Structure formats: C-alpha cells, structure tokens
C-alpha cells in the first residue's frame, strides 16, 4: 500500500466544502492499494456553453484526485503537496451522468509526485487522460 496511513472514503468526503472540488460536486468513491477514485456530475455546473462537459471541469477532477492522493502519501505534519504542472487530453464529449476519475502514481519521490489520472464516462469509455506533477514542500511554520 502506498498510503502514509489508513484512509476511508467517508473521511475524504468529510473534508471542508469551501473549495472548487466541492462546488462541482466531486465525491471520492474508492481507495485501493495504489489508486484513488472520485466521480463528478456532468450537469449545468460542469457544462460548457455547448452542453457538454467543460474541459476545465475535467482538469479540476484530475487535480483534485492527484492532490488528495499526494496528501495521502506524505506526513501532513511535516509536508504539503502543491500542484506544479498538469496537462489533459480531452478524448470524447460527455453530455450527462457522471464522469469517474482513477488516479494512480507514476512516480512517488521525496520532492515530487507524478500522477496518471484517467477519466471515464458512465459507459466506461475514457473521456480524458491527465498527468499531474505535485511538488512536496516543507509545511510552512
């Protein structure tokens, strides 16, 4: 298991709600030995003007997953993870339902983490693939 300690989905979903992920309705769905997953509704909050999922909303889901995963790997008392770089390829439009992101590590180092995030529609077809690099820095005093 890659996590610093045991976590559960209820704990992750019980985080404060005054952030962008909560505003878009992102909820964590599963924690595995080496992955984290979450889903996000595709609706008026996440649509772009043409009635399909906004690419930026997919990036918010990807960065939320990778950032939370990084925080689960490190000692919170000593370090924090901050996004360094993210990219995304939007592969197919999604009009409704949910998209589910699955985040897995590509690299977990002492100073950087790199996460692979794949986002799927309700039919299990990939709609977006993203990579997030997180810098691990000492917690400010």
Kindly list the catalytic residues. 63
Calculate the alpha carbon distances from 15 to 28, 89, 98, 106 in Å: 11, 29, 21, 26
Integer-rounded Cα Rg, in Å, for the chain is 15
Q: Are strands 112-120 and 126-138 parallel, antiparallel or unpaired?
A: antiparallel
**Inter-residue contact 26 to 64 (CB < 8 Å):** yes
């Amino acid at each position: 298991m890659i996590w610093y300690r045991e976590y559960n989905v209820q704990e992750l979903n019980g985080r404060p709600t005054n952030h962008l992920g909560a505003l878009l309705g992102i909820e964590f769905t599963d924690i595995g030995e080496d992955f984290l997953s979450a889903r996000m509704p595709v609706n008026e909050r996440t649509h772009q003007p043409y009635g399909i999922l906004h690419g930026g909303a997919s990036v918010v889901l990807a960065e939320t997953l990778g950032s939370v995963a990084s925080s689960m790997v490190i000692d919170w008392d000593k370090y924090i993870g901050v996004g360094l770089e993210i990219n995304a390829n939007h592969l197919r439009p999604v009009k409704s339902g949910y998209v589910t992101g699955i985040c897995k590590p590509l690299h977990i180092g002492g100073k950087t983490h790199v996460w692979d995030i794949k986002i799927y529609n309700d039919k299990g077809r990939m709609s977006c693939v993203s990579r997030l690099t997180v810098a691990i820095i000492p917690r400010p005093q």
